[in-house]
Amino acid sequence: MNDRRTVVRPVAHASWWHCIVLMLVSLCLCGFTGLFRKDHVHIRVMTYNIRVGVGGGTLRLQSEQGLKKVAHIVRKHKPDILLVQELDINAPRTQYVDQGQWLMHHLGFPHAAFGSAIREGTGSYGVAIFSRFPDNIAATKYELFKPDYPNRPDYFSEQRVLLKAAVNIKGTTVTFLCTHLGLTSDQRTQQVQNILRHVADVETPIILGGDFNSESISREMRPFKTRFYDVFDALRMDIKQRLTYPAGLTPGQAIDTIYATPDVKVISAKVILDKTLASDHNPVIAVLRIPIGQ
């Protein structure tokens, strides 16, 4: 009996320590797994006013000819999300080409959404969001403040819109916004407030791109800072590095940019200087880090 007790006690003692060691190893492994778990993803976002594919400067290209030049720029920089302003759908002036479908097909985007600002006969004109992510995007269009300037050309009073799209990125919803604001400070002031109201209840990360017809430091753009930051501001880039209009190697105004909410981190951003004049605007592209699984 004494011998049997002597054998039993060390075995029980060893089993107890064995359990503790296993628990410690498991905890350590869980800790290391947490360290290496990827809780973010990098995406490339481009905003581009394509001038309905007629080219920049004095160019007046046929729709498909111009779109080929636009597609060359986009293809070279490989955005995951493409935010487009001044897009025609089946409009007479651009030979009835559905420019949204054309870009989807030639650039390989599986999903897109279009927001019409102006309708004339069979044609529409507006903004679009293209996505390379596998899930469909849920999009909503909002009309922004429309002024009335009876003593100015009609295009000063044209309807402006905001297109909002929810995109599933690795299981996390990210909200993308695309817009093209008006030509006068007073209307942009109200349009900025419209945009802020339309995203007031959005709790996801938000990325906003567009042609704002104004620099981010202007008085009418300042309210955006209550919700967003400008990617160029975050990188402390000089104004000379932000110039987008007119297109080419020597633009003079910084009116196209990308904004994001603070939960999105900007890794890099630049203006693409387009000497081919595929449009009258140079596009902007940014690499952004998006939180996922949170």
Do 10 and 130 lie in one domain? The reply is: no
pLDDT tens track for 240-284: 999 999 999 999 999 999 999 999 999 999 999 999 999 999 999
Do 138 and 16 lie in one domain? The reply is: no
CB 39 within 8 A of CB 294: yes
Domain encompassing residue 223:
40-291
Total of domains in the chain:
2
Within the chain, where are the H helices?
Answer: 2-36, 63-77, 99-107, 185-198, 231-234
> What values do phi and psi take at 265, rounded to 5?
-105, 135
pLDDT band at 15 (very low <50, low <70, confident <90, very high): low
> What values do phi and psi take at 112, rounded to 5?
-160, 160
Distance CA 113, CA 131 (A): 9
pLDDT, mean of residues 106-116: 98
% of the chain beyond a pLDDT of 70? 87
pLDDT band at 197 (very low <50, low <70, confident <90, very high): very high
Do 73 and 198 lie in one domain? The reply is: yes
Distance CA 101, CA 268 (A): 29
Do 45 and 14 lie in one domain? The reply is: no
Do 157 and 267 lie in one domain? The reply is: yes
Helices (H) and strands (E) in the chain, counts: 5, 12
State the pTM of this model: 0.88
Do 29 and 60 lie in one domain? The reply is: no
pLDDT band at 115 (very low <50, low <70, confident <90, very high): very high
Angle between helix axes 63-77 and 99-107 (nearest 10 degrees) is 40
Do 242 and 110 lie in one domain? The reply is: yes
Distance CA 45, CA 43 (A): 6
pLDDT at residue 30, rounded to an integer: 46
Do 116 and 206 lie in one domain? The reply is: yes
Q: CATH number of the domain that 202 lies in? A: 3.60.10.10
pLDDT at 2 over 60: no
pLDDT at 48 over 90: yes
Record the tokens describing residue 209, joined without a space. 């791109």
pLDDT at residue 20, rounded to an integer: 56
Residue 206 amino acid letter: I
pLDDT, mean of residues 92-96: 96
pLDDT, mean of residues 114-141: 96
Q: Give, rounded to a whole angstrom, the gap between the first and last alpha carbons of the chain.
A: 60
Do 221 and 206 lie in one domain? The reply is: yes
